[in-house]
Every structure is written in C-alpha cells, then in structure tokens.
Amino acid sequence: MKVHEYQAKQLFREFAVPVPNGRMAETAEEAFQVAEELGYPCVIKAQVHAGGRGKAGGVKLAKNSAEAKQYAQAIVGMKLVSPQTGPEGKLVRKVLVEQGLAVVKELYLAIIVDREKEMPVIMASTEGGMEIEEVAARTPELIHKVHVHPVTGLRDFHTRMLAFKLNLEKNQAKNFAVLVQGLYRLFEAKDASLVEINPLVITNDDQVIALDGKINFDDNGLCRHPEIAALRDIHEEEPLEVEASKYDLNYIKLDGNIGCMVNGAGLAMATMDIIKYYGGEPANFLDVGGGTSEERVKEAFKILLSDPNTRGVFVNIFGGIVRTDLVARGIVNAVKGMNVKVPIVIRLVGTNEEEGRRIIQESGMNVVAEISLPHAAQKIVELCKGFGK
Amino acid sequence: MAILVNKDSRIIVQGITGKEGAFHAGQMIEYGTPVVGGVTPGKGGTRHLDRPVFNSVEAAVKNEGANVSVIFVPQAFGADAIMEAAAAGIPLIVCITEGIPALDMVKAKNFLKTTSSRLIGPNCPGVITPGEAKVGIMPARIHQKGHIGVVSRSGTLTYEAVNQITQLGMGQSTAVGIGGDPIIGSNFIDILKLFNEDPETEAIVMIGEIGGSMEEEAARYIKQNLSKPVISFISGQTAPPGRRMGHAGAIISGGKGTAAEKMQTLRDNGIHVVETPSEIGSMVKIALAKKS
C-alpha cells in the first residue's frame, strides 16, 4: 500500500526523522495561509501517488506571497500528468506546503527487503535528487549498500560505514546516524516494504533533513497495523480495484478488452498470457481465489462487466478441491438476471468437469463451454473480435 | 524414492483443529498420507480426526517421532509456527499459510539457516508424492505415480501442468509448490538438486513467474549440474511493471524480473521453454523422446 508524502512525513516525525516545517492543505486558500505562516521561500507540492511531480508542474518554489497565491491556485485541482500517471493524469486534491531550506548537498537514502539476501538493505548515494534507477544503471558504484541481519539489527557500524562512503563531515555523520536509526525503526515497526528519501538534504548548518518521503507498506503486514491501513487514499486507486478489494477479489485493471476470471494467481497470469498469444488483449488480472463461491463469482462478473472496454469474458477455473459442477451452478446463477450481452467462454477443468460442462450447456445461457485451454482462449479472442465493432 | 515425502514420513499438522487445517488434514488422511498427529496449543491431550493433538511441536516429536510438519495457521502466527517446528528439530516444514508479513519471514528464514530444517513455502500448495503422501492442499486425483518431477511458484498453474502430464499417460515422482512470496524456504535450485539425485525422476518441469531472479539462477545451475531434461513455463508475460500480480513475489520492479528476460536466460542455458501453459505436457514428451 502506498501513502502520500505528507503522511510519510508525519510518520517520519513520530520516529525522529527530521523533516522541513510544513502542513498539508486541501484548498488553495488554506495552502496560501500555511505559506504565510511559514514565511518565504516555501515549497508547494502536489500530493498524488506518482513520481515525476516536479517536471509535471506539481512542485513550485514560492519566493513571496504573490507567488504562493499563484502557485497554490495552479496546483490545487490541477490534473497532474507525468510518465507514471498515464495520459489521463491525476487530480490533485491535496498539497503539502513546506518551508524552503538552504541546501548544500543532496543525497539518496532507502531501505527495502533484499529478496536474494533475505534481509533488509539500506541503500545510500551521493547522487540525490536524480532518478535512482538511472544512477544504478549508469554508475552502480555510487550506490552504497549495507545489509542488516536480523540477529544484529541496525548497529552503529552500519550507519558509520554509510556516512564514510557518503563523505559526510563529523557533525553531518552524527545527524545522519540518528536519522537512519529512526528510519530503520519505522521500517521495522510498521512493516514497510520500502522507505525512500530522495533527496535527503544537508543544510548549511549540517542538519540532515528528509526533503521528500515515500513509504510503501507490505500488504501482508497491514492486518496488525490498523493505523497504517487507515492512511489508504482510495481516490488514488482505480475505482474497480477498490470495489474488488471489498470482496477480497484480487483484481488489476489493464488496457485490453477481454475480461478474465481465474482461480489462482499463477493461472490468472498464464491465462492473460495465452489470450495475448492468440492475438487478444486481456482487460484485467483477476484471481477469484480458492473458494469460488457463487457470491464471489457474481461480484467478479459485475466488476468485469462494469469496465466499459470489456467485449467478452473468459472464465478459467481449475477445480481442485472445489467441484466444478458446483462452480458451474454458481456461474449460471450469477449470470442469470444480470443481462449479460457480451460473449462468455467458460473453461472448467477438474473434479466433475463433464457435469459442470453439462450444467453450463443446459442453462440456455449464451455461453461456450470448453475444456482445452488453447481452444477456449482462441474462441474468446475470435468472439471478441466480432463483437461490438 | 521420489523426494521430500513418502509413505514412511511421520507427518503432523500444525493447526489441525482449525477450519482449513482440519479440512485438509482430513483430505490428506483420506489419500493415505501417514499423518501421525496434530498441534493446537491448548488442545493437547485431545484427539482430532482420530489422531492425537499436542500442545507443542516438541511434544509431537517426542511422542510420535514426527519428522514432517505441515502448517495451516492464520497469517499473523505463520512465522512463529515455522520457527517452533524448526526449534523442535523437524527436518521438513511445509507452510501453506498465505500472507505472512515479509519482515516475519526475514526472521524465520535467517533462524532456519542456523538449524538443519528445510522449509517449503510459505504461501504454497505443498508437496505430493503420488500414491504415498499428500502434504498440502493440491487435488489428489489429478496426480499419478510416475517419473516427472514438478516444481512451481504457483498453485493452480501447477495443477494445470500435473493434469496435462497425467492425461498424456505420464506421472509425477513428486510435485513441489515452493510458494509465491518474495522470501521462501526453498528455491528452485534446492528442489532441482533433489530431483537430479532422485533415480525415479527422469525429467523436471519448472514453472516460474515474474519477479526476483530465482529462475535465472536456476537456469545457470541447470546448465552446470543437470543431465535430466528440464521443461519450463514462465507466467506473467503480459504483466505490467510495478504491479503485484496476486503473489507478493510476482512483481516486476526497476525493469528486473520480466518474463521475457527469464525465458531468454532459460533458453540460453538449454532449457525447453514453452510459450503457453497448454504446451507443458506435450513438451515433456518431446524432451523425453529426444533424450532416449
């Protein structure tokens, strides 16, 4: 789960990670008020879950009241379009207004779990403020890493090593160590999957301050952090994905037009792949999970059909523990009374598959039942090409 | 022979009195799996599914000589259950539980490295040696005793492959689901090594997916160490970067871990890569024919 910069910085404060003075505002007037209180220069930053805000005009430095007023009005309510938002952009509903700082150095700092080494890694670089992927590709030697073993936890030697590699002076190194310790405590205590500060700045009086802040949380950890789960901003998410999450359906919207309903994440991905292989474009990833009850099938159908791009639906269920005849009944009952106009291809494999297929065929629904995966995939691709053009 | 589990295993179920645990333990017993007991703290001394229930894994080891534990506990207690089994000296731990926080797994995995226990999973369907032992949630009836080893990061996609192998008249030596999380107990190389040493296994199916670099590492290992043919499918060719595709581990980040990249590396190392999941079974046949 992602949170906004202003929410990340609130958490930074709780863990003694220094951030600039500032506050979130939801209207241009409020933003202007905060700017007046903080004094000038100050920075007005759009709060959306996407990078590339600066280049998209979502971050402005105001040197006086007139500029603050102008920028606040320009940013609050703007459609921010960056490479990460897609062409439709994102509506800016909130801004963070912060005091400007006298920066002498920009650094990069992040903590993630290293999958290969199976422990957290702290990454730091002197190349702050840049796209870190680019730095990693061009000059990997400028990204310094220390792994933190769970037996030791974060020790002084870890932060010392990084401070030396970043060429920090004595006072800077001391402040840097305090900040890294706070950030690591936050990472562990709240089950984060990523904390990133880019840039981390050093001011002319040797303060080390998080000028930016990004935190992603491990979805699997949210169950024990209700206060973090409460930070979720559904405005930043795809509405259909929000709807699906209410029913514990694992749904991701894509750009194609063939709606997919599958049980199991691996099979769901493979189903998308085979649709593409036969020349179609999947409209989504959807894992209905192991149970595949009538209720879930119904909700899943509703979500697939409410996507205006959907030209057909492919249901691919491998009935393992669940009997496919029961799944078939669930599908028939779910689709009945929903006034489904698009073509549907259903592939049911596993326990009682003949019975399942018979139920589908005898339902009188305009549905094609298949057993072979390639045949089923070819069929739905073909039907969708002929539909709705 | 086969690998990991067989008819002589002594299996316990952690969480045997829970809804999931009880259901699947029942299915395992019905299959003929040697389940010797279960663990539910606070219910020690009772019986469930006609098996003794213990308060701790240690007690199950002491009283029943358990050497395999399969875990069905809620996500918040998953790592604790794994560490308890390892602390009790269980050689093989199979964790079915889905949704264990990554930082819990960091602790559990690094603790396991100090023991001699092997972990399969978490977030996996388990391990089955057809005709001998089913340790997990996979549908028994699609399996058939045979000579193909199957190892996979996903559940239902494994069933798809197993089903094809069975339908084509072949069978499985053992099928292992290693799980879809970023941090898992055993990786492809760990299982490939066992299949390579198993005289009953003639060919190996390896089903990977986007995210991480486990498939790439396995590809290089296979080229250097395996003489048996390996057939592979990678799911997620159409997955967009930066989105978690169901499994916590299935995410393309920083341009790394794409299906195309993995498929190329596998091909470069002599592995039979199929483009669609429906070709897995037939490719096994082709690979075996080429070999003989």
- pLDDT computed for residue B241 by the predictor: 85
Percentage of chain A beyond pLDDT 70 is 98
Asked if A193's CB is within 8 angstroms of B156's CB, the reply is no
In degrees and rounded to multiples of 5, residue A236 shows phi and psi of -85, -5
Residue pair B180/B245 in contact (Cβ under 8 Å)? The answer is: no
Segment 92-151 of chain B within 8 Å of chain A by CB: 99-103, 105-107, 109-110, 137-139, 141-142
Q: Mean of the pLDDT values across residues B41-65?
A: 97
- Give the list of residues 6+ apart from residue B57 with CB closer than 8 angstroms, or none: B12, B14, B39, B66, B69, B84, B85, B87, B88, B90
Contact B154 A266 (CB under 8 A): yes
Q: What is the mean pLDDT of residues A65-76?
A: 96
Q: Do A219 and B248 touch (CB under 8 A)?
A: yes
Nearest to B110 among A116, A151, A188 (CB): A151
The reply to whether residue B183 touches residue A115, judged by beta carbons under 8 angstroms, is yes
**What pLDDT score was predicted for residue A131?**
80
pLDDT above 70 covers a percentage of chain B that reads 100
Active site residue A184: no
Read off the pLDDT of residues A130-159 as tens digits, 9 standing for 90 and up: 888 888 888 889 999 999 999 999 999 999
Amino acid occupying residue A218: D
pLDDT at residue A322 is higher than 80: no
pLDDT tens digits for B228-276?
Answer: 999 999 999 999 888 888 888 888 877 788 999 999 999 999 999 999 9
Among candidates A282, A278, A241, A285, which has minimal Cα distance to A263? A285
How close, in Å, is residue B202 to chain A by CA atoms?
Answer: 25
CA-CA-CA-CA torsion sign (A120, A126, A130, A135): negative
B-chain residues near A290 (CB < 8 A): 137
Q: Which residue of B has its CA nearest to A265?
A: B246
Residues 6+ apart with CB under 8 A from A61: A41, A42, A43, A100
Separation in Å, CA B229 to CA B194, B225, B273, B289: 14, 11, 11, 10
Given A196, A299, A353, A370, the catalytic residue: A196
DSSP line for chain B: --SS--TT--EEEETTTSHHHHHHHHHHHHHT--EEEEE-TT-TT-EETTEEEESSHHHHHHHH---EEEE---GGGHHHHHHHHHHTT-SEEEE------HHHHHHHHHHHTTSS-EEE-SSS-EEEETTTEEEESS-GGG--EEEEEEEES-SHHHHHHHHHHHHTT--EEEEEE--SSSS-SS-HHHHHHHHHH-TT--EEEEEEESSSSHHHHHHHHHHHH--S-EEEEEE-TTPPTT---SSTT---BTTBS-HHHHHHHHHHTT-EE-SSGGGHHHHHHHHHHHH-
Nearest residue in chain B measured CA to CA from A371: B278
pTM of the model: 0.93
Interface membership of B250 toward A (CB under 8 Å): yes
Selected residue of A1, A148, A220 to mutate for chain B interface (largest B Cβ count, 10 A): A220
| Range list of β-strands (E), chain A | 22-25, 42-46, 59-62, 79-80, 90-91, 95-99, 103-114, 119-125, 143-147, 192-203, 208-210, 214-217, 250-253, 258-262, 284-287, 312-319, 344-350, 367-370
Q: Which residues of B touch A262 (CB under 8 A)?
A: 156
H-helix or E-strand containing A276?
helix A265-277
Q: B82 — contact with chain A (CB < 8 Å)?
A: no
**Interval B129-145: pLDDT, tens:** 999 999 999 999 899 99
Find the mean pLDDT for residues B145-168: 95
pLDDT for res A389 = 46
CA gap B218, B269 in Å, rounded? 10
> Which member of A116, A133, A267 has the closest CB to residue B157?
A267
10 Å Cβ neighbour count for A125?
Answer: 26
pLDDT in tens, A162-183: 999 999 999 999 999 999 999 9
A59-62 and A344-350: which strand pairing? unpaired
Taking the CA atoms of B108, B125, B91 and B85 in sequence, report the sign of the dihedral they define. Answer: positive
- Smallest CA–CA distance, residue B45 to chain A, in Å, is 30
- Mutate which of A132, A269, A375 to test chain B, going by most B C-beta atoms within 10 A? A269
Q: Is B52 on the interface with A (CB under 8 A)?
A: no
Whether residues A373 and B250 touch (CB distance < 8 A) is answered with no
Task: Decide if A62 touches B, using CB distance below 8 A.
Answer: no
Radius of gyration of chain A, Cα coordinates, nearest whole angstrom: 26
- Mean pLDDT, residues B166-179: 96
In chain B, what residues touch A287 (CB-CB under 8 Å)?
246
Res. A291 pLDDT band, cuts 50 70 90: low
Strand order in the sheet with A367-370: A250-253, A284-287, A258-262, A312-319, A344-350, A367-370
Question: Across the interface, which of A150, A250, A266 has its CB nearest the CB of B155?
Answer: A266
A66 in contact with chain B, both atoms CB, cutoff 8 A: no
Lowest pLDDT segment from A2-11, A339-348, B110-119, B278-287? A339-348
SS3 of A10-36: the string is HHHHHCCCCCCCEEEECCHHHHHHHHH
What percent of chain B is modeled with pLDDT above 90?
A: 90
Residues within 8 A of A (CB atoms), B 11-50 only: 27
Distance from CA of A112 to the nearest CA of B (A): 10
- B141: nearest CA in chain A? A351
Q: With beta carbons under 8 A apart, name residues in chain B contacting A224.
A: 76, 101
CA distance B79 to A224: 14
pLDDT band (50, 70, 90) for residue A292:
low
Q: What is the pLDDT of residues A182-235, one digit of tens each?
A: 999 999 999 999 999 999 999 999 999 999 999 999 999 999 999 999 999 999
DSSP codes joined into one string, A166-229: TT--HHHHHHHHHHHHHHHHHHHHTTEEEEEEEEEEEETTS-EEESS-EEEE-GGGGGG-HHHH
Please answer yes or no on whether A266 and B157 come within 8 Å at the CB atom: yes
- If you average pLDDT over residues A13-18, what whole number do you get? 98
Catalytic residue chosen out of the listed positions B48, B143, B147, B247: B247
Q: Measured between CA atoms, how close is A265 to chain B, in angstroms? A: 5
Phi and psi, residue A385, nearest 5°: -65, -35
Confirm if B99 and A220 have CB atoms less than 8 A apart: yes
Give the Cα separation of A72 and B255 in Å (integer): 35
B110: chain A residues, CB-CB within 8 Å: 118-119, 149-151
Per-residue pLDDT for B123 more than 90? yes
Residue A345 is predicted with a pLDDT of 93
Residue A290 has pLDDT above 90, yes or no: no
A327 neighbourhood in chain B, CB within 8 Å: none
